Structure 1
Amino acid sequence: MPQPFDPQEVLRLPLMATLCTLAEDGAPRSAPCWFAWEEAALWLLSDRGASSARRIAGDARVSVEIVDYDNPAGRLRHLGLRGTATVEPMDQSLFRRLLTRHLGAPETWNPWFIDNVARIDAPDGRLIRVAPDSIFTNDVSYFRTGPDLA
């Protein structure tokens, strides 16, 4: 009994997305990612040498899954996107917005993490842009109560 919902309800939350790509041998691969939704596209952090970026260069078809799950509250909403991905040059402003979305205000960021993992000025920094061909939603938040009480 899938129940649709407005995708913006999940896209506006600082959740993890799972990026699904295809390896050269056709085997599926997945990677958890922070994301931002801007200009009708999903933006994910990457760099030139990242395995996801390399796989996208070989086959741009991707899917992305985002789940908003809160067991005690009985919330379970799934958002899926299917489309084409591109590896884009770094946009430092977008990168900062994405980090702020997930880490909070810049003055609270862990300096080690920014210097070693999420370098805004990294020369190999890239962003993955997913332009969805389709978006689907499924709200099964009634898993605790049944559909009559959802």
Structure 2
Amino acid sequence: MPTAFDPMEVLSLPLMANLATVTPDGAPRNAPVWFAWEDDAIWMLSEKTASSARRIAINPQVSVEIVHYDNAVGLLRHLGLRGTATIEPMNPALFRRLLHRYLGPEESQNDWFVTQIARIDDPDGRLIRLAPDTIFTNDVSYFRTGPTLATPRG
């Protein structure tokens, strides 16, 4: 019994998304990713040689799944986005906003992580962009409460 909700209620949170791609031989692959929702698209970090970027270059059909789950209060919301992804050049301003979403203000971010791992200024940096063809939402926040949703309806 699907119960729809506004996708922005999940897209606005700093949750982990799962990016699903397919290898050239048809094997599914899944990667956890940080994301930002801007300009009607979900943006995910990558780099030119990353396995997800290489798979998308061959087969750009992807899905992204995000689950907002809180067992204690009975919250379980699923958001699915599907469509054709593109690999975009790095956008340092967008990258900084994405890092702020997960790591907080720039002055409190781990400099080692930002410079050595995230590498904002890396010329090989890329962003995966998905402007979804379809968006699916399902709020099943009744698994503890019975037929009444545990989530408030706005």
Tell me, yes or no, whether TM beats 0.5. yes
1:48-127 → structure 2 map (5 Å cutoff): 48-127=48-127
Q: Aligned to 2:5, what secondary structure does the other structure show?
A: coil
Once superposed, what is the RMSD of the aligned Cα atoms? 0.8
CA-to-aligned-CA distance 1:29-79 (integer Å, 9 cap, x gap): 000000000000000000000000000000000000000001111100000
Which whole-Å CA distance do the structure 1 matches of 2:3 and 2:124 have between them? 42
Query: 1:132 maps to which residue?
Result: 132
What is the TM-score with the length of structure 2 in the denominator?
0.95
Matched positions, count:
150
What is the identity percentage for the equivalent residue pairs of Structure 1 and Structure 2?
70
List per-residue Cα deviations over 1:14-35 (Å, max 9, x = no partner).
Answer: 0000000010101100000000
Aligned amino acid, residue 21 of structure 1: T
Q: Post-superposition shift, 1:148?
A: 2.7
Runs of 5+ consecutive residues of structure 1 not aligned to the other structure = none
User: Cα distance, 1:147 vs. partner?
Assistant: 1.6
Q: Aligned residue for 2:41? A: 41
Distance 1:28 1:11 in 2: 24
The list of structure 1 runs, each at least 4 consecutive aligned residues, that deviate by more than 3 angstroms after superposition, is: none
